Structure 1
Amino acid sequence: MDRFGPRDAREGDTEQLISALIPPATRRRPPSATPMRPPPLPARQLPAGENPQTFRLDMARPDTSGRLSVRYLLRTLGWSPGDRVDHTVIDDAIVVGRSPTGRAMIGARGDLMIPATARALAGMDSDSQFVLVAAPTKNTLVVHPERLVAGLIAAHYWPPDISDDA
């Protein structure tokens, strides 16, 4: 007697295969020498060299989840709720572009999620406002910290150097 029961009863049994339950033999195709590459995604970049007259601006303050209400700029760009987007951090700006394989999605109420990692990489505080720049010709939305625009305005208001050479 072994652990599966009496040896005599098991030796006399013969197994019979049921053909309806056996899958047909298939040939395995050899793997391809080179795997298929996905199509290249467009590189996200700042809209440098664009006509500034085409830019549309807005300001937004993120909620506790990092969502921004950007309905006006979404209409300008032709984006809709449910569209997928990708984020790219370039220096102190976050460039957002529509992408079929995007990791984020525009919310049903026209809100755009800015991930905490992107905000941290761009040096943006979650409690400050953001300046949003839509570039319709590039189909991108750029998120800037308000301190950048405040610095540009302060530099614009700074009095010019007056020399006493006259």
Structure 2
Amino acid sequence: MTVSFVPPVIPRTVPDRGALVRRDRTPPPVSALEPGSGRSSGTVYALSAVDKSGRVADRSVVRVLGWTPGSRLDVRERGGLIVVRQVDDAVYRVDARGHLHLPLAVRRWCRLAAGDRLLLAAHPGDGVLVAYPLAVLDRLLAVPHAGGDAA
């Protein structure tokens, strides 16, 4: 029986920097805005995490809407979004420190876990807060760029 050895293939320890950087990289597609166009609404945005008890950490949107501790809130899920309005006979309330708490049923319906983030959009003129789970944003933002073509 004869034995032959195959030499080992060992990569270089210091990679070539040029091989790691793609020179032909193009930026991801982004929808074009009209030159000089600005914001057209008074919507206030915040990105916030939800803790294990459903508390939303950011209080700025609650303050913008004029909700104070004890304000009664109607919290509902609609199409994967969380819609919150101040209603006099609602069950949920802004807590003593001014935080919004999302009910367990709504968190389960939206599949939110502790640490998940939400894009909060406060519409002061309407008195409405809409919370967008990042899974919903992923779906919304993927559609225009599905083919890699910018609008």
3-state SS of 1:53 partner: coil
Give the equivalent residue in structure 2 for 1:40: none
For the residues of structure 2 that align with 1:58 and 1:98, how far apart are their CA atoms?
A: 19
Give the equivalent residue in structure 1 for 2:79: 91
> 1:1-166 to 2 correspondence within 5 Å?
53-156=41-144, 159-160=148-149
For the residues of structure 1 that align with 2:129 and 2:116, how far apart are their CA atoms?
A: 18
1:135 maps to amino acid: H
With CA pairs under 8 Å and 6+ residues apart, which has the higher RCO, 1 or 2? 2
For the residues of structure 2 that align with 1:116 and 1:52, how far apart are their CA atoms?
A: 35
User: Which sits farther off after the overlay, 144-153 or 97-106?
Assistant: 144-153
Please report the TM-score for the alignment, with normalisation by the length of structure 2.
0.64
Q: Which has the larger radius of gyration?
A: 1
3-state SS of 1:132 partner: strand
**Identity across matched positions, percent:** 27
The 8 Å contact of residues 85 and 105 in structure 1, kept in 2 or not, is answered as yes
Please report the TM-score for the alignment, with normalisation by the length of structure 1.
0.59
> C-alpha deviations, 1:75-122, integer Å up to 9, x for none?
211111111111111110111111111111111222111011011123
* Cα distance change on mapping 1:52 and 1:95 into 2, 3 Å: farther
Cα RMSD, aligned residues only = 2.2
Give the equivalent residue in structure 1 for 2:3: none
Q: Which runs of 5+ in 1 are unaligned?
A: 1-50, 162-166
For the residues of structure 2 that align with 1:52 and 1:88, how far apart are their CA atoms?
A: 27
Q: Compare the two structures and name the one with the higher helix fraction.
A: 1
> C-alpha deviations, 1:54-93, integer Å up to 9, x for none?
2111111111111112321122111111111111111101
* Cα distance change on mapping 1:107 and 1:52 into 2, 3 Å: farther
The 8 Å contact of residues 60 and 130 in structure 1, kept in 2 or not, is answered as yes
Aligned length: 111
The 8 Å contact of residues 52 and 113 in structure 2, kept in 1 or not, is answered as no
How far does residue 156 in structure 1 lie from its aligned partner after superposition? 4.9
How far does residue 155 in structure 1 lie from its aligned partner after superposition? 4.3
* Cα distance change on mapping 1:84 and 1:146 into 2, 3 Å: same
For the residues of structure 2 that align with 1:52 and 1:155, how far apart are their CA atoms?
A: 23
User: Which sits farther off after the overlay, 88-97 or 126-135?
Assistant: 126-135
